[in-house]
Structure 1
C-alpha cells in the first residue's frame, strides 16, 4: 500500500524528556533503542493504520494555538518522532492555518514527509487524511475537485489517502450538500484520493451519505466526530453504533477536550487565548471526571492525557490528538501498548455522566 507518492490526504512507559535532546539539525529523526509500543495496526477502509493518529490543526493556527514559523523545526522533530514510533495516520485540512498561513498545515505535513530520513517503506506507508471545507462558494462538484487539486499542490503528492468533507451543509444550505457529495465521488473516480470520509456528520446524515456514496460505487471509509470523555452523549454513541454496523471507522477528534482532560489546567490556571473563556465555563464542573482520570492515571503510572486517549481507543475509535511539541508527542505515544480494564472504562464513563459540564458541540454538527 502506497498512499503518499512523491511528485519529483497520546513500551507504555514514558521516556524521561531529558533523554530527548533536540538535534542540531531539524531534519534528523529522533531515534530510540526501542519503540514506545508494539506496532499493532487496525483496518480503516483500504488502509492499515496505527491505533492513534496525530492531528495538525495547530500547524499554522495563530489565533487558537499561537503558531509561529519558528516552531517549524520542532514540528518536524515531532513528526519524525511519531513516524519512527509507528504512527502513520496524520489528519489535516485545507482550512488549517490563519491569515498568511492559510494552508500551512498541509504544506508543512507534505514537507516533513518529503524530508523524513527514515526508510522509504515507512514514509510511503503514511496515510494523509485531509478535509475540504464546505465553503459557501464551493457550489459545484468541479469546485470541490479543484479544492482537492489545491491540497495536492500544497502537499506536493500525487494522491491523498483519505479525502474528507469537513462538515455538512444540511443545517443551513441543503442544496449545496449534494454537490459536495458528488465532488467526493469525482475526486475518488479521478484517483485524486484513495478513499473518502466525512467529518461532523450526525447519525442521520451519516446514513444518508453512506447510502448515496455506496450507490455510486464509492465506499465511505471514515467518519470524524468530536469524541471524548468530555463529549460523550447520545449523539456520539449513536454515531458509533451506526459506524460499526456500516463498516465505517470512527475517528475521534479533540480526544483531550482541547486540553481540559490533561489535568494541566484549573479555573485559576487557564490557557492563553480564546480557550480561556471556554475552560473557565467548563472546568469547575469537571471535578468528578478529572478526579477519576487522575486516580486511574496514578494507579497505572500514566498521565491523565494517556488515560483519556486510551479510553477512546478502548471504545473502538482512532483518536487524533493534536501535537505541536516533542513533549506532547512523547506523552501521547504513551497512550499505546496497553488497555484500560472494562471496570476502569465504566468508571470513567460514570464519572463523565456525574460531571455537570460538557464540551460544546461543533456548530456544524448535524443530526
Structure 2
C-alpha cells in the first residue's frame, strides 16, 4: 500500500505505524512487561523491514524512556533523520501551556538525532491552560522550526475545531487527532470526530486498533490467555467471558476472511481500519515482539473487497450495540 500524507502537512507516513507505549519500561508498560533495548531493537528492525516508516511515542511513556529507546533502536537499525517519521506528545495534566515550550528540548534530546515531525497534545483535558493557549504554544514551535507539525490526541470534535482555529491564524494545519478506533470502538462515526477530521483535512490516528489484542482472535481461541492477562488490561479492554461470547461472530467472520487472504485475524482487522475510512484513518498498533511488528506491517499488503469491508462493518455494528 502506498504511503499517505499526514493531514495537510505534506509529511509522508505509512498507513500502519508503530505505537511506542510498550517501550516505556514502567507505568503503561505493565500491560506488556518491560522490554530490554535489544528487544526494542528487534521490534523496530522488523517493523522497518516490513515497510513501516513512522513511529509514535510520548513524553508520558516512561517519562521519556520510550522516546530514548525508540531513537536508539532506529539508530541501531541504520536509519538517519529523514528516513522515518517520528511523533511524540506533550503531557498536559496539571501543567500550563508554557511547559510545551519549556519541555520540547527534552523531546528533542530524547529523540536525537531524529526530529520531532509531529508534536501532539496528549489529551483535551487536564491542563491549567486553555486549548487555545496550548495551540498557540505549539504554533510558536513550528514557526521557530523546532517541530514540523502539530497534532492532538483524545480531542473531541469541538476541541479539534478550537485547536484548528488557533493554528490557522499562523497558517498551520491541525495535522491529526489520535483517538481509539477499531472494529469494537467506532464512536468517531457518531461523535463528530470523523466528520470534523474530514472537513479540516486532518488525519485520525487509531490507537489500540486491535483493542488490546481482543481483535487478534487469540483470546477467543484460548480463553486461558485472557485469564492470564493483568487485571487492569482486561478491564480497560473489556476482555471478559461475556464480551468474548458477544464478539465471537465478528471474530468468526474475520477468521473466514483471513483464511481467504492467507492472513491472520489481526491483519484483517487492521486492513479493515485503514480501508473503511479511506485515507482519513491510519493506525498505530503496539508490538512487544518482532512477530507482532511483522504481522502489523503485513496488513498494509492486504486488499479487502468492498463486500468484505462492508460485511465486517455490519457485524461490528451488530455486536457492539
Q: What TM-score results when the alignment is normalised by the length of structure 2?
A: 0.88
CA contact (8 A) 1:57 1:96 kept: yes
Distance apart, 1:174 and its partner CA: 7.5
- After superposition, the CA RMSD in angstroms is 2.1
Deviation readout 1:41-75 (Å, 9 max, x if unpaired): 11122211212111111112445334325x32122
Q: Bigger relative contact order, structure 1 or 2, given CA contacts below 8 A and separation 6+?
A: 1
**Alpha-carbon distance between aligned partners in 1 of 2:103 and 2:58, rounded to the nearest angstrom:** 11
Identify unmatched segments of 5+ residues in structure 1.
1-37, 358-367
Q: Pick one of 245, 249, 268 that aligns with 1:284.
A: 245
Does the alignment pair 1:220 with 2:174? yes
For 1:351, the equivalent position in structure 2 comes to 315
Q: Which runs of 5+ in 2 are unaligned?
A: none
Are residues 233 and 135 of structure 1, via their aligned partners in 2, closer, same or farther at CA, if it must alter by over 3 Å?
Answer: closer
SS of alignment partner, residue 124 of structure 1: coil
Report the secondary structure of 1:286's partner residue.
helix
Q: CA deviation at 1:173?
A: 5.9
Q: Which runs of 4+ in 1 moved over 4 A?
A: 172-175, 234-237
Q: Does structure 2 conserve the Cα–Cα contact (< 8 Å) formed by 1:261 and 1:290?
A: yes
State the TM-score, normalizing by the size of structure 1: 0.78
In structure 2, do the counterparts of structure 1 residues 286 and 73 end up closer, same or farther at CA, with 3 Å as the change threshold?
same
Q: Which structure dedicates a bigger proportion of its chain to helix?
A: 2
* 2:300 is the alignment partner of 1:336: yes
Contact 1:202 1:235 in 2 (8 A): no
TM-superposition CA deviations, 1:334-356 (whole Å, max 9, x none): 20122211111111111111114
Q: Which residue of 2 is the match for residue 195 of structure 1?
A: 149
Secondary structure at the counterpart of residue 183 of structure 2 = coil
* 1:157 paired to 2:121: no
2: CA distance, partners of 1:135 / 1:260: 29
Does the 8 Å contact 1:210/1:220 carry over to 2? yes
The one of 84, 102, 121 aligned to 1:126? 84
The number of residues matched between the two structures is: 307
Deviations 1:231-286 (Å, cap 9, x if unpaired)?
01355673222212211112111110111000011355414212233311632321
